Amino acid sequence: MRDSGRGRLAGGIHRWTVRGAFISLLLGVVLAAPDAQAVRPAMEGGTAHSLALKSDGTLCVYGDNSIGELGNGGNTDTNVPTALAGLTNVVSASGGGIHSLAALSDGTARAWGWNYYGQLGNGNNTDTNAPVVVTGLSNVISVSGGWNHSLALRSDGTVRSWGYNVRGELGNGDNNNANAPVTVTGLATVKAVAAGGEHSLALLSNGTVYAWGRNSKGELGNGGNMDTNAPVVVSGLFDVMAVAAGGGHSLALLSNKTVRAWGWNAYGQLGNGSTNNANVPVVVTGLSNIVEVACGQTHSLALRSDGTVWAWGFNGEGELGNGTLATTNVPIKVGGLTRMAAVGCGDSHSMALKSDGTAWAWGWNAHGQLGNGATNDATVPVQVSSLNLAATLWAFALDTAGGWKVLGWFGFFLDQGDGWVYHAELGWQYGVGTTPASFWLWSSRLHWLWSSANVYPFFWYHDGQAWLWYYRGTGAGAGGWFHNFGTGQNEWH
């Protein structure tokens, strides 16, 4: 299915900060973390192109470039990731149908690619193969691209939109296309947005979801099938942590880590064991402990907390990654993937980021959008060439002699909507020798973890609060203290 379909996780790509600090540990060692900033590494896809956002705020692009959707100044496809020169400080990126978007740390946005309907938002309708400034936007924290329209979430919780609007997907109360941003009507306290094929979603801070645009297949989830050019509430959804929008269907991740779906279901992309469309949310069968969701044109992905990936829906190009081309209306496990940390979708291709920073992809590859140096479709995951998205940040320890030694280094922090996923590859260097180890941490206050070493003191700064993690042991009696230096709170897990 290649009808310029788009699917998008809407949990946002947020900037995290570790600031210099000195903290007295029980061991009499002082731990410090130098000033550093990074964004959440992420992978996004358009119809036939892919974007990889690195932790340093730069982008790598690959795949179809016929209308400049790679933004590199040319129109030649590439089947391996290439750095997008001249664009830095990116905090959010999204692939639309045949266009691309980026939000920068200064609150402005950039766009490039096809612009027939004004989806680049720069005040005209001329295609461009290099990033241009989206007109009149400030305080933007994330972006999302649909087939031919675009969304931007501002830090004040309001939403701007531009591009194609015949089905009301801009949500501004009319059906006129707009080549510059307009305000989505009546929305405030929005914390995430997702642009689908011809519909749009907004997740509010109270856990409810609003939708607008095309509704012929129940895309809006409000119990009807009439298009609307202003936001309406999705029926029966509460405690939602993240949303994703596909070509004609939508997903919501709940706080209990189950998934709901609604809309078009001809290929089983709702995952509820049927192929009937649903104009209200239905339960995706057999999924638990889900931490992230993503939608393609007619398929869906879910990441479990155990690091496995599950897929359902259309599979004609191998986008389900199970080694077959068989479509399924219930979730199946993607083959060969373990310890994954994030997922993303293009039209008919899928992507996943592993906890070590390596990137994997499967499905349609005619334009090189899998990034593995080939143009053959892949029914099982293949590694994206020469791409590692792990951030590197150093922690230091002050030894008894007053000299600094490297305490360790860690990979990246991933915001999963309701909390944080921490991945690390740590090497302890007290004097001579290194003892490498790995760990996972998950949830808003880090109360699930896996580790293979005995003691880990660790410091981080999050949401204006400094925390110390002091982990002891494995097996029986293992656990860790979590100390909040601002409130004095202590937790044992």
Secondary structure of 90-109 in HEC code, one letter for each residue: EEEEEECCCEEEEEECCCCE
pLDDT digits (tens, 9 = 90+) for 245-277: 999 999 999 988 899 999 999 999 999 999 999
Are 45 and 349 in contact by the 8 Å Cβ rule? The answer is: yes
pLDDT for residue 390: 62
**Distance of alpha carbon 343 from its chain centroid, rounded?**
7
For residue 11, what pLDDT is reported? Answer: 31
461 φ, ψ (degrees, to nearest 5): -120, 120
Query: Reading across the β-sheet that carries 490-492, which strands appear in turn?
Result: 455-462, 465-472, 479-484, 490-492
Dist CA 290 CA 463 (whole Å): 24
Length of the chain: 493
Q: How far is CA 204 from CA 11, 145, 192, in A?
A: 11, 19, 7
> How far is Cα 39 from Cα 53, in angstroms, rounded to an integer?
8
| Paired tokens of 157 | 């919780």
- The answer to whether the CB of 278 falls within 8 A of the CB of 262 is yes
**Residue 307: what pLDDT?**
81
Distance CA(134)–CA(103), nearest Å, equals 10
Closest to 422 (Cα-Cα) out of 383, 387, 474, 458? 458
- Angstrom distance (rounded) from CA 451 to CA 430: 19
pTM (global) more than 0.75: yes
Which of these, 133, 162, 195, 155, lies nearest to 14 by C-alpha position? 155
Report the candidate in 247, 160, 244, 257 with the shortest Cα–Cα distance to residue 209: 244
Q: What is the dihedral of CA 315, 290, 340, 378, to 10 degrees?
A: 0
Handedness of CA 253, 257, 262, 268 (dihedral sign): positive
pLDDT of residue 404: 35
What b/e readout covers 163-196, taking b as 16+ CB neighbours within 10 angstroms?
A: bbbbbbbbbbbeeebbbbbbebeebeebbbbbbb
Query: What pLDDT sits at residue 58?
Result: 93
Q: Which helix (H) or strand (E) holds 193?
A: strand 190-195
> What residues in the chain have per-residue pLDDT under 70?
1-39, 390-493
How much of the chain is in helix, strand and coil states, percent to nearest 5?
Answer: 0, 50, 50
In angstroms, how far is CA 69 from the centroid of its own chain? 19
Q: What's the one-letter identity of residue 183?
A: T
Q: 């290439």: which residue's tokens?
A: 82
pLDDT at 264: 98
